[in-house]
Amino acid sequence: MARPSSLFLIFFLHLVLVSSSTTSTETRSEHSINHVALFIFGDSFFDAGNNNYINTTTLDQANFWPYGETYFQFPTGRFSDGRLISDFIAEYAKLPLIPPFLQPGYNQYYHGVNFASAGADALVETFQGAVIDLKTQLKYYKKVQTWLRSKLGKVEAEITLSKAVYLFSIGTNDYMSIFVTNSTVLNSYNKSEYVGIMIGNLTTIVKDICKKDGRKFGFINLPPLGCAPGIRIVKAENNGSCLEEASSLVKLHNKALSKLLRKLEKQLKGFKYSLYNFNINLRKRMNHPSKYGFKEGKGACCGSGQFRGVFSCGGKRLGKEFQLCKNPNEYVFWDSYHLTQRVYKQLVDQIWNGARKLNSVWPYNLRDLFQASNYSYLSI
Count other Cβ atoms within 10 Å, centred on residue 86: 26
* Phi/psi of residue 112, nearest 5 degrees: 110, -170
Indicate the Cα dihedral angle 59, 239, 176, 191, nearest 10°. Answer: -160
Pairing of strands 216-220, 272-276: parallel
DSSP state string for 179-202: HHS---HHHHS-HHHHHHHHHHHH
Q: CA 238, CA 228: separation in Å to the nearest integer? A: 14
β-strand partners of 80:
none
DSSP 8-state code for residue 330: G
Q: CA 64, CA 66: separation in Å to the nearest integer? A: 6
Q: CA 369, CA 372: separation in Å to the nearest integer? A: 5
The H-assigned helical ranges of the chain are 7-21, 28-34, 85-92, 134-152, 154-163, 172-180, 185-188, 191-211, 229-232, 244-267, 278-287, 341-353, 366-371, 375-378
Residues acting as catalytic residues = 44, 335, 338
- Residue 201 in contact with residue 134, Cβ under 8 Å? yes
